[in-house]
Amino acid sequence: MQSGQGLRFAANISNGFLFSGIDFLQRFQAAKNAGFSAVESAFPSGVGAEELTAAQEAAGIQQVHLNLPAGDWANGDRGLAADPGRVEEFKASVHTGLQFALALRCKRLHAMAGVIGSGADRQEWMKTYIENLRWAADLLSKNDILLLIEPISSIPGYFLQHQSEGLDVMKAVGHCNLKLQFDIFHAQRKDGNICDFLSANISEIGHIQIGQVPGRHEPNSPGELDFSHIFSHIKSLGYDGWIGCEYVPTGDTAAGLSWMPSCD
């Protein structure tokens, strides 16, 4: 979906976000019917690449962003990239994610860092994180697929929480195929100064996501952020990437898209 400002919006069809009331594979068509031309999602556990591709092609919609497999989600895993004891699992997840991305013609993969325990050595985790990201960024670059990392505020103990930490990690990795996934919901909760950060770092950002604070609902729902201003600012910076709608609808997803024309 493209707003009057020329910004491009993708529906996040992960469980808990847009169109969650229907089967996952049906969400591609639901997003298309609502006016979106693209979707993004977490890695779809239990669904094969062929099934996903069939649903995507039947709907005539792009998959522009996908999470790598994040481990055993039901048992608390929230990514593998920084865990020193799970390097081989992480590498296997990158190969799996690459297989899905190629099938879906998806050009962005997000590697979740993981949850660090209270007794773990943060320096060791950081060393592993940097090495793993450098390896993955290089592998994906050979397939013209961008690797993303995202500071996340809503997962207790998540290894990467602040935008400045994300920039520091990118600098340490030193690979042009690694960019920041800038989720405005998480950034506002942890750091604030959304427009200033965007102005200073737009070249380091490979994907943007949105959700109002504090409720993580539609951009025009009550909250701290003036998204009309933020969207205008993003456009003024020349950002031509996708903006993922990773929010929890307050009601029916399609009915809640009335905020979109306000971007004109």
The set of catalytic residues is 150, 246
Q: Which two tokens stand for residue 187?
A: 């950034």
User: Residue 208 to residues 202, 237, 244: CA-CA distances in angstroms?
Assistant: 10, 13, 6
Q: Which two tokens stand for residue 229?
A: 């201003």
For 112: left if phi > 0, alpha if psi spans -120 to 50, otherwise beta; the answer is beta
**Radius of gyration from C-alpha coordinates of the chain:** 17
Query: Residue 136: beta bridge partners?
Result: none
Residue 237, φ and ψ in degrees, nearest 5: -85, -5
Query: Counting Cβ atoms within 10 Å, is residue 91 exposed (0-12), middle (13-18) or buried (19+)?
Result: middle
Q: Report the C-alpha gap between 151 and 167 in whole angstroms.
A: 10
